[in-house]
Each structure stands twice: as C-alpha cells, then as structure tokens.
Amino acid sequence: MVELSIPHLDTVFHALGDATRRRMLRELARGERTVGQLAEPFAISLAAASKHIRALENAGLIRREVRGRTHLCRLDPGPLAAAHRWLTSYERFWTDRLDVLERLLREEEAGRSTTPAGDDR
C-alpha cells in the first residue's frame, strides 16, 4: 500500500479541518451528489460550494465527473484510509501510555492494601 507523503497528508487534514467539507464528505459517503445537492444544506452559493469541493478534490478525497452541465461528485476514500493509518500510530502511542498508567495505579493500589492499618507511609 502506498503511503501518502507528509505534504499530501497536510492537504488532507487541511480539507478535513473545515466542518462544511466534513459534512460534504459524510453526504458523499451515502452516494454521489451534484454540486447543488452538496451546497443545499449549507445555504451557501454554488461558487462557495465549488471552492469547498475544489479543496476536497485537491486533497484527493473526492472525484468530480462532468455529465453535460451536471457536475457529479463521489467520495474517494483512499486518502482517508492513509490519514487513518497515520492517526493509528498515535492511537498506539496513547494506548501504550494508558496501559503503563493503569499498571502503575494497580501496583499503587496493591501496595496500599498490603500496608498494615495505622502505618502512615
């Protein structure tokens, strides 16, 4: 599997950093949509919607197909999978840290339960 370069990941995360674009992606996960259909829930102009769509296209997150005067957009999940793989490395990092913390807390609790009553250490 081809890893995305860091600059491309920057583009993906930039595109995902906008709530409108994330909602557009969520809508595209249900199936292809026209630019007008993507713009409709946001009360934004088609020009504004097109700017969001271009940002998603530049990140490789969607593909646009022109059929006559209709522009159809569909989700391309590849870059999302690559971003997920990158984030997973940090998930492992935090899981490992939390496992160490849990072990330390259990050891501390076990040490307290073996300390005789009245012994203030």
| Residue-wise pLDDT tens digits, 65-89 | 999 999 999 999 999 988 998 888 8
Position 2 scores a pLDDT of 46
pTM, 2 dp = 0.70
What's the CATH number of domain 1-113, 3.40.50.80, 1.20.1260.10, 2.40.430.10, 1.10.10.10?
A: 1.10.10.10
* Domain spans, the chain: 1-113
Give me the pLDDT at residue 118, please. Answer: 59
User: pLDDT by residue (tens digit) across 5-61?
Assistant: 555 889 999 999 999 999 999 999 999 999 999 999 998 898 999 999 999 999 999
Contact 4, 12 (CB under 8 A): yes
pLDDT score, position 47: 92
